[in-house]
Amino acid sequence: MEIGILSLLPPVLAIVLALAFKNVFIALFMGVFSGQLILAGWNPVSGINNTLYAFIKTFESNSNVIVLYSIMFIGGITYAIEQSGGIGGFIDYMTQKRAIIKSKKGANMFTWILGVLVFTSGTLSALVTGAVSRPINDAMKVPHEKSSFIVHTTTTPVSVLIPLSGWGAFMIGLIEANGVENGVAVLWQSITLNFYCLIAVLAIPILTLIGKDFGLMKKAEERAEKTGLLDDPETAKTVTPANVSLEDQLKNKTTPMNLIAPLGTLILTILVVLTITGEGNLTRGAGMQALVWGVFVALVVAGVMYISQKIFTFDEYVSTVLKGGGNVLSMVIVLIFAFAMGATVRGLDTGPYLANALSGILTPALLPAIIFIISCLISFSTGTSTGTMTIMMALAMPMALTMDVNIPLTAAAVFGGSIFGDHSSPISDTTIMASSTTGADVMDHIRSQLQYTLFFAAATIALYVVFGFIM
């Protein structure tokens, strides 16, 4: 069946609806429905029926189910750690070092290090890092624009660069949902090519150590130093109180090992299984098998620790894990929609059609840079990184496969461009949380940070152009 230009309708419709309604569920559902309607010969009844079954068929793949299972139970582990007092204990341990922080540089580096350590979730990082570092930053007269910039930069950009959490399972699922085999290897290779996130995260310690700022951030630093005002009195609105105070975090505290041991077990088990199944080569290991074992062993270790300490009974531990799994249900549903969208786009041969249509005017080497730019525009407009990844991966991977463009480089362009919006958009949830927990005005935070993120994005585009030609 020759679809032709109509094969572009589902991804284009999904992008337009995502921008219009700021809702990735509506966008993806309509994208799948429009594609299935085309495949059904415009028969509306068959189109609806095929759409419903497209979602059901995602569970026919063992790897799809493993990814969904992993996300749910990693969410459960994270929530159990929080409820066990492990996070509170970790915070208490870290803040005992406050006495050695005697300067702005020390406060900035402490904030950055803490944000990197809390890599499992952008949301959790924004809440914990912002709440813990605020008293230190305020005492050292760090302007709220600066502290929110550091906190925000160590949220989702770090989660993507250290994908040993639900993020990793999600990204692997997206890669494999769009026709690419061995998503684990592709994801690991893409990390060193995710130039936007690398530049953003590494810029913080570099700028801190050399003591350089520019634009509105420099003015904020000068204001705080000269007047002691941590917010701009001319532009700042009423500052929202922090969602989580240091005192609240420390009310529920136990040993920091209640955080370190389960997460360390998860990471170590994944690495061991990858090494064993890959016969010594991590990149060739069985990624899905590693995820299954990692989640299972971490759940067992956490359960034994918490039950033996009488923090939970067995029934309470199971209920806590299940509740934590429910907290990430939206990410699971997005991924189910993504699997269905990927299958629909492949059925329409959208990637091959678009690649062939552009082959005369688009140099394959420029594809990663173009994918990054489009991902930036969508993520900034919608404020969602996961939604942008889902939509763009369905378009980018088939094109890269057809045009013989480096797959990890293209995947990195999608991931980095999607994080740009999460990092820069005023409607992003991490923007709101980073501003709230540090005490910054949202628009002051965005205006001062945008001068940096736009520079990071411009440098990233240049790098993708260069690497597109040499890889």
Encode pLDDT of 83-103 as tens digits. Answer: 888 877 766 675 554 455 667
Tell me which of 262 and 88 has the higher pLDDT: 262
pLDDT of residue 241: 38
Structural domains in the chain (count): 1
Tell me which of 71 and 152 has the higher pLDDT: 152
Place of tokens 């997005």: 334
Summarised one tens digit per residue, pLDDT across range 269-308 is: 877 887 888 788 765 667 667 778 888 999 999 999 999 9
CB 298 within 8 A of CB 263: yes
pLDDT of residue 412: 96
Per-residue pLDDT band for 19 (boundaries 50, 70, 90) equals: low
Give the number of C-alpha atoms closer than 13 A to the C-alpha of residue 264, restricted to the C-beta side.
7
pLDDT of residue 356: 65
| Position 70 pLDDT exceeds 80 | no
| Position 245 pLDDT exceeds 50 | no
From the list 298, 272, 383, the residue with the least C-alpha distance to 86 is 298
pLDDT of residue 361: 67
CB 101 within 8 A of CB 208: no
Place of tokens 């209640």: 258
Tell me which of 439 and 180 has the higher pLDDT: 180
CB 372 within 8 A of CB 415: no
Place of tokens 């966008």: 27
pLDDT of residue 420: 93
Q: Classify 281 as helix, strand or coil.
A: coil
**What is the average pLDDT across 137-141?**
78
| Position 140 pLDDT exceeds 80 | no
pLDDT of residue 235: 67
CB 142 within 8 A of CB 148: no
* Furthest CA-CA distance within the chain: 70
| Position 267 pLDDT exceeds 90 | no
- Provide the residue range defining the domain that includes 184: 5-470
Long-range pairs of 270-278 with CB within 8 A, sequence gap ≥ 24: 270/164, 270/294, 274/184
**What is the average pLDDT across 243-254?**
56
Per-residue pLDDT band for 31 (boundaries 50, 70, 90) equals: confident
| Position 4 pLDDT exceeds 90 | no
Neighbour count for residue 59 (Cβ, 10 Å): 12
Burial of 60 (0-12, 13-18, 19+ CB in 10 A): exposed
**What is the average pLDDT across 419-426?**
85
N-term to C-term CA, the chain: 34
Tell me which of 42 and 345 has the higher pLDDT: 42
Neighbour count for residue 182 (Cβ, 10 Å): 18
Per-residue pLDDT band for 239 (boundaries 50, 70, 90) equals: very low
CA angle 22, 389, 126 (to 5 degrees): 75
Lowest mean pLDDT among 28-32, 113-117, 245-249, 322-326: 245-249
Q: DSSP labels for 288-326?
A: HHHHHHHHHHHHHHHHHHHHHTTSS-HHHHHHHHHHHHH
**What is the average pLDDT across 352-381?**
79
Summarised one tens digit per residue, pLDDT across range 174-224 is: 898 888 888 888 999 999 999 999 999 999 999 999 988 888 899 988 888
Place of tokens 């041969």: 349
Lowest mean pLDDT among 31-35, 71-75, 165-169, 251-255: 251-255
Distance CA 407, CA 185 (A): 11
